[in-house]
Amino acid sequence: MTKKIQSALISVFYKEGLETIVKQLHQLGVQLYSTGGTQKFIEQLEIPVTPVEKLTGYPSILGGRVKTLHPVIFGGILGRRDNETDIKEMAEYNIPELDLVIVDLYPFEETLKTTNNEQAIIEKIDIGGVSLIRAAGKNFKDVLITASPAQYADLEKVITEQRGETTIETRKAFAAKAFEVCAQYDLAISNYFNPSAPIETLNQGPEKTLRYGENPHQKAVFYGDLSKTFTQLHGKEISYNNLVDIDAAIQLIAEFSDTSFAIIKHTNTCGVASRDTVEAAWKAALAGDPESAFGGVLVCNGPINKETAQLINDIFFEALIAPSFDGEALEILTTKKNRILLQYHANADRPSRMFKSILGGTLAQDIDQGNYSSWESHGTRAASETEKQDLAFANIVCKHLKSNAISLVKNRQLVGKGCGQTSRIDSLRQAIDKARQFNFDLEGAVLASDAFFPFDDCVKMAHQAGITAFIQPGGSIRDKDSLEYCKQNELAMAITGLRHFKH
């Protein structure tokens, strides 16, 4: 089932990376056929190429909408080389065999990002390209299909290392990738026409095999394009667990407009603070829990300079994410070869949906966006301006902790947190203990809870520890108990109406 490439149809939108392939095919004596801009590109390389129009007898018509949609072209692709009837008909109608098809598709998704003009968008719905891909993929027994520049490197290996000889396994593997390209393309078009009921899919973007999954015995793959979110400047290959924590870190830091620094461990925030400078924010974030910071993922929303890098360099961490690094900072931080340094693209698109595989199916939901939907005191003492700042800060932090979650904040610094506990009072105990472990004074601190207080025990315990203000979504049938305690003891409580469970 080995076949040698003797003819190729090439019709692409993007020409990058094509020159080398065209020259290599020419060196092998491959007959080239092409259309429009691709034909001109090949001619400029001074390589012989036959216009498709010479085969079809028709020019490109309807403003370029119809170029390759013709029986001669599709017969050359779909003709079965081991079928006597097909061979006879191809000879009768002068249909040449096409052994290789190289196409890409009009940039539909890219166009969506740059314009709302419906006509411009519609014109980027590819017809001929998709048809060519499907035809060549269907006839993989005889034809090799390359449907994306992402496949060019593999195609070059076929041309140079195998001298244009292809196996059935190679052709089938290329076809599989080609149908995946079509599926993603059609999905984007379908979702454009059905914005109120988009089709969800987990497989969004190229596939990257990871070293292993959550544990070494688990295989793992990432689907997507990480380069859209960040550029890796230094360090080892990013692992499954790294990616999970990096995602948690980026989600958290995107919530802050003031200069902030955070430390993430197993997706939970173990330190976070907002300050006037990145250096000061780092010091305050680390002070929140210097013990848990070991081996964490660090993230900030300001540039890393030399002074901050010198401080960070003193601890072991997995990854550091920032919008930029100055040259001296990079010199310091790259002294450890495995450290992952990521330059985060602040303008990167944030997903609006999230997914979880369960019970042989998939859960899909909107991303938890926002801090609070209301701010009602219900007769409790009004919070001071400082308390309001800290309450809003604490609620954001709490939103990014695993439920049941409690965050204690003072002067825009996380000073204690409890998360992942099966009861809210246990999370509070954990938060108070953590604050005391690192000698934080909780007098005047505030507390955020990701869900309502089922009883007034949390309010009482927190008050005894020095907490003076609370923020929680409310919704308990016993909200009045907690509110009444706050009234009696001159404590502030904000009811937000927005729960932030995270599992």
Q: What is the full DSSP assignment across 214-243? A: SSTTS--EEES-GGGTEEEEESSPPPHHHH
What is the distance of C-alpha 109 from the center of its chain?
Answer: 16
The residue length of the chain stands at 503
**H helices present in 197-314, as ranges:** 240-253, 278-288, 306-312
CB 335 within 8 A of CB 313: yes
Signed CA dihedral, 64, 136, 180, 205: sign only: negative
**In angstroms, rounded to a whole number, what is the distance separating the alpha carbons of residues 434 and 200?**
41
In whole angstroms, what separates CA 424 from the centre of its chain? 32
Q: Which of 15, 70, 236, 266 is catalytic?
A: 266
Q: Token pair of 426, please?
A: 């246990």
The question of whether 480 is a catalytic residue gets the answer no
Spot the catalytic one: 15, 124, 138, 487: 138
Question: Which residues partner with 354 through β-bridges?
Answer: 365
User: 239 vs 82, 154, 212, 243, 257, CA distance in Å?
Assistant: 47, 25, 7, 6, 29
Closest CA to 145 of 186, 180, 110, 184: 180
451-457-461-467 Cα dihedral, nearest 10 degrees: 50
Please state whether beta strands 165-166 and 3-4 pair in parallel, antiparallel, or not at all (unpaired): antiparallel
The secondary structure of 139-164 as a DSSP string is TTTT-EEE-SGGGHHHHHHHHHHSTT
Asked if residue 25 lies in contact with residue 101, where contact means CB atoms within 8 angstroms, the answer is no
Peptide bond before residue 395 is cis, with ω within 30 degrees of 0: no
Give the CA distances from residue 352 to residues 25, 308, 416, 417, in Å, rounded to whole numbers and listed in that order.
Answer: 44, 33, 30, 27
Report whether 11 contacts 128 (CB < 8 A).
Answer: yes
The answer to whether residue 266 is catalytic is yes
Residues 6+ apart with CB under 8 A from 383: 377, 391, 469, 492, 494
**DSSP character string of 160-175:** HHSTTEE-HHHHHHHH
Q: Which residues are catalytic, by number? A: 138, 266
